[in-house]
Amino acid sequence: MSYTTYSNARLSQSYSSKPRKTLRSPDRDIAFRNQYIARSKTTLVLRPFGSPHSAFAYKITEEDGTPQFTVTGRKYTHRSCREFRDDSGLPLFELHRKWSWTISWSVSLPGCDTATIATGAPRWTLGNTSFGNFDLSFENAAAFQGKRGDEKMLTLHIERHGNALALFDVVDGDRKVAEVRESIHHNEKLALMRGSRQGYRPAMDVIVMPGVDISLVSTIAVIVSDWVFGSS
């Protein structure tokens, strides 16, 4: 799918007007990596940099600019994936995007795309995929050690809302445990206008409740930015 197709779909469709859930902590911790579980409500900022061909396609920081993660451009590595690194530059995991008859995603350990830790796919409604809505399934690293593998499996539902500004709720059962949204504070005012969005990748606010892994929600934010805003 071309960038123009992405942009036209994004600007022409309307999204859910159903009531949104309020932000609440999950009833147990949720994580890819336990060391990144938030212990208080946390707001991060995802900022696109350069083109997807550049060394760093995204930087993810705290609100005061303190770095948390960097994400390489998809075509920067010969393996054609996005590589997440921590604030010291060490690789954490990789995000792979696949196309067949539809788009899908997988998250794997560094350097090994078969060591999958999560998979994602658009969510279908009445025979159609709703642009910007998807599910992410993974084995919860924060689950009790005594549980079987199938009991540790967890699926988060990402629900798109909003028209003028894109809003994405990360839902665990009956709770919204995180939110990704176009940032008003960190984007230029002109770029927030509907007619000024062609070719524009906005900064995103990433709000994470206590008990949720910030690297997990940062991965969701990168998927959202790539898919909805047409990064190639």
- H/E segment holding residue 39: none
| pLDDT tens string 105-153 | 999 998 887 789 999 999 876 544 567 899 999 999 998 776 766 778 9
206 membership: H or E segment, kind and range: strand 204-208
Structural domain containing residue 92:
3-228
Predicted pLDDT of residue 162: 78
Measured CA to CA, the distance from residue 14 to residue 146 in angstroms comes to 44
Interstrand relation of 91-99 and 167-172 (parallel, antiparallel or unpaired): unpaired
**What is the total count of domains within the chain?**
1
Give the residue-averaged pLDDT of 27-54.
Answer: 89
Q: What single-letter amino acid sits at 73?
A: G
Amino acid present at 81: C
Percent of the chain with pLDDT over 90: 53
Q: Where are the extended beta strands (E) located within 102-191?
A: 103-108, 116-125, 128-139, 153-161, 167-172, 175-182
Average pLDDT of the residues in 192-199: 55
Nearest alpha-carbon partner for 29 in 169, 137, 150, 177: 177
- Residues of the chain with pLDDT > 70, as a percent, come to 76
CATH number at residue 10: 2.40.160.200
More confident site: 155 or 17: 155
Mind listing the pLDDT tens digit for each residue in 62-98? 999 999 999 987 665 555 789 999 999 999 999 998 8
